[in-house]
Amino acid sequence: MNIRDFEIFKTIAECGSFSRASEKLFIAQPSLSKTIQKLEKKLGVILFDRSNRIFRLTDEGQLVYEKAVTVLQQMNELQIELEDTDKHVRGYLKIGLPQVIGTFFFSKVAKVFTGKYPDVTLEIVEEGGLHVEKLVEKGEVDAAFVVIPAQSHALEEQLIFEAPFVACLPNNHALKDEQQLSLEQLKEDDWILFDSSFALSQVILESCQKEHFVPKIAYSTTQWDLLMTLVRDELGVAIIPSPLTEMYQEEICVKPISSQYIAWKIGIVVKKDRYKTRALKAFLKNVTDIYAISSEVKS
């Protein structure tokens, strides 16, 4: 039994078939089958249920899979620690980045960081906020920008930016002349929301719940600029963070929300108790320094 056996077993389990795992690993199916047979013999258990058309882990296989994930992550962290022994900051970081947050935050961070640390490579992983949280939790991403508080208790978070949500209406909306609005005043309207994979969507639904209604969702999207265009073209109303409206001030009607304060809190998260390389420590400090300076300038 060796680490490679665990890597192969984990890949097969996650792919859900030997054929897909074969394509991913570039290893012939017969070789994969032999590896699993040897592993089963060494462990004295059956890892996969092959009794019908459904390919799945046995109870023992599920236990081995969970342990394999832990062992492989620990080995990866050990390798990183061994490579991180000198004082020169270099390395490779995966940064989780939801599209909306990335549009407004990442370029500033990347420009400053790569200027200071040219030997650190940054890879961007673009997914919805809830998904990138899971990737950080599983150790597949080093850090991520997300809406906080994070859903996972396994993450350590640092607030870097906060702004209010505002109501966005078409310019000819019946409430266009109101100075400010409650969410309840919009409960009969069609609503345009971010996709459910976005933490923003959950924030909006919970805010509506506080005012005792469920919004009528006409459209949902992963693209903030499309959302603004749909509002502009009179297809619904939206509740979004105020920074997202700056480019559309003349095309839509933007109103403060009077009934409650809804905060867009952006933070950076890492997995609790995970070893932080010099590169990751430098990146986290870079982020907090940039937004500490931004806050001082605004105040």
The CATH code of domain 163-262 reads: 3.40.190.10
**What's this model's pTM, rounded to 2 decimal places?**
0.62
Q: Do domains 3-83 and 163-262 have the same CATH topology?
A: no
Coil/strand/helix, residue 51: coil
Paired tokens of 68? 């394999």
- 3-83 carries CATH number 3.40.50.920: no
Could you state, in order of their start, the residue ranges of all structural domains in the chain?
3-83, 91-160+265-298, 163-262
Paired tokens of 50? 């092959």
- Give CA–CA dist 22/1, Å, rounded: 20
Of the candidates 95, 195, 197, 105, the one whose C-alpha atom is nearest the C-alpha of residue 151 is: 197
- 91-160+265-298 carries CATH number 3.40.190.10: yes
Question: What are the distances in angstroms from CA 72 to CA 122, 138, 139, 157, 273?
Answer: 22, 11, 10, 25, 16
- Give CA–CA dist 20/12, Å, rounded: 8
Q: Would you state the pLDDT for residue 98?
A: 85
| Digitized pLDDT (tens) for each residue of the chain, 299 residues in all | 688 888 999 999 999 888 888 888 889 989 988 999 999 899 999 999 877 777 889 999 899 999 988 888 888 877 777 665 555 788 899 999 987 787 777 888 889 999 989 999 999 998 888 889 999 998 899 999 998 888 888 999 999 888 999 999 999 999 999 999 999 999 999 999 988 878 888 889 999 999 999 999 999 998 888 999 999 999 999 999 998 888 888 899 999 999 999 999 999 999 998 888 889 999 999 898 887 644 433 43
Q: Would you state the pLDDT for residue 299?
A: 36
Q: Residue 218: which H helix or E strand, with range?
A: strand 216-221
